[in-house]
Structure 1
Amino acid sequence: MTPEHLTIGTFARLCGLTPSALRFYDDARVLAPADVDDSSGYRYYLPDQVPTAVLLRQLREAGMSLGDIRAILDDPASTTRRIDRHLADLTQRLADATAAAERVRGSVERHVPPCGGLSVPGPLFAASCDQVLPATVANPELPVLDSVLVEADGNTLTLTATDRFRLTSRTLQSRSVGADFAAVVAAAAARTLADWSRRQHRITLSRNGTDVIVTGDSDVRRVPIVDATFPDYRLMLRSLPTPTTRAVVSRDALLHLLERSPRTIRMVVSSDTLSVDDDAIAATLTGPPITVGFDVTVLYPTVCNAIGDDVMLDFSANDQPLQVRSADAGDLITLAMPIRLPD
């Protein structure tokens, strides 16, 4: 033994291994000490063994077997090849484990009993889908905008959609009280479900771990739940400024006015009229006059899907969303974003 020899404790600190691990690797014939005291059995190492011990530690942290590590230490030229093979094996094992876990999860979730259902008329549900679906849009960067939020709360069912320029929320009352749930479903799936619901007298909605389950007169449909976080539209509604100007107008008259208008319009609400350029319709006004710009392609579907003969237009400012509500029913609320008018 020479002054260069290091005790197992000192060597362990230098290479980041524990003394017990060094003893194990010696017994496994992976990393032998430079010397062993015959009388005490103490192991001693040389400083030039530190890089080898560090490599051993790193390979173990990467999950390599002792057999592969021993082969690398015996033949350093094989290091890259063996590491690549090890990573490929780990990747395949991860893929196999992921697939197996998904199969198990899917099997378990499929057998989770659905929560209690909420029953509504099928045609009414279909009409509600028709009202909110125009507020969806296909956006690869924000796929949640091409979806509908379905919420059951007590005896109410609410459908909500937004494309950032519009937000539409429709609430239906149910004769039954089901378990509360919320689920996001794809807009395309909601359209298909609406077409089917039109031919059902009543439908009952519930959900399990993976699907919204819709039971009709003699058939059951499963709508996959989209793994997406829907925007907090209730916070958006609560954050809206208090309307300062309210106009009640004929829905059909406003639609005809928009049909005659260019795409970009300057809407002026004052006195007892709502006008676009030189075209005007009668309005019942509360509050001060206001001028707001709109894109007709955003505003028209909003008004078109309103309920009843009259619509209520709530304005707070020319740069804040317009709230479009049915004058005789408060269960459909739509927001339409204005546009900036040229000076």
Structure 2
Amino acid sequence: MIRTQIERARRLRITFYGWQQGDSRPQVDMLQLLLEHSSVWEELRLELTTALVPTLRACRERLPVLWRAWVQWDGPESQVGIEAIDFFAMAHALADITVLCEYRFMPTLLPMHNQLIRYDFDAPWATHYELLKSLPNLREARITRNFDTVTPWPERREAILLLHLRRLYVNDPEILDHIRAPALEILAVLSDDDVETPSHLASFFMRSSCLLRRLCIAGLPDVESTMIILQQHPSITKLAFLIRDMHRKNQDTECDVFTRLIAHFTVSNATGMLPHISKLAFECQNADSVPWPLYLDMLDSRETAQDCTLQAAELLLPNAVAEPDGESLARMANLCQAGMQISFSSGENAEDRANQWLHMPFWE
């Protein structure tokens, strides 16, 4: 049945999840069957085990139209004895690649003359540095510095010019000190509470002279200095705060940051209320109790202010156990009737939406 379906397909999008603890023989057999038609693979999402890697290596010259790939591993045991991901080395049509090493870094061999316009790696900074220098056509990058975070940053060299980069995610704000992206439109930054994210943003904006349209800050931002940055860059019209206490997972800390942000966006309370913001999103990763009256007061104040342009608001609560109370739902309905788009999501829907703000790729 599977062979018949494959043979009828002109193009294939493959999703294959290996299981390190399971019987490898049927997994390898199925992968070999799929590889008989690798010449029409367009997309490939893989969860690898040690048993699957040799089979993939054997077909590395038979991926002529593969343009999109995602690779991850089924636990640390699945990486034992594997030194590199080398089966994409001849995939010359590859334009979009995600490789999540997660447990132990291993290099990915890319085609010598590649067409990459997007990459997403968790890797040491030295790897990212060489990639960024060698990929002139990049339109989007997710730069996750990992595996070398206990070592200090190298001496700063001339910033890498990324002439065509439009979308960027970094998991360390200091990465911004090493690049220049004059065409950047969308930026997401994971901000640790002991890093001065606004100062890195300020120097990056000055160096790049980009007209950013959308900014997402995840973590625990310093509210006051972040507001100053936003006031200085009116090109930013879409803004998201993914409030996450990543180390302690303290919902009181998250609620405090959320409340202070709301105060700054409430017109009657704010000095310089950022009238250019047309879309405003918040996520509280671990908070269960939300100050709904304060949040809705903020939206009311922006909806009635003459010089505010807020058109849409999102609130994401991945771990919420309770829906908004009836009065809050009624107030949201009134705002929607007045023309504002308001959405509230919890659980997996909230996680999926937050991933979109962080430029995580979507796979059907």
TM-score range (shorter-chain normalised) is under 0.3
- Tell me: higher relative CO, structure 1 or 2? Use CA pairs within 8 A at least 6 residues apart: 1
Q: Which has the larger radius of gyration?
A: 1
* Larger relative strand fraction: 1
**TM-score, normalised on structure 1?**
0.21
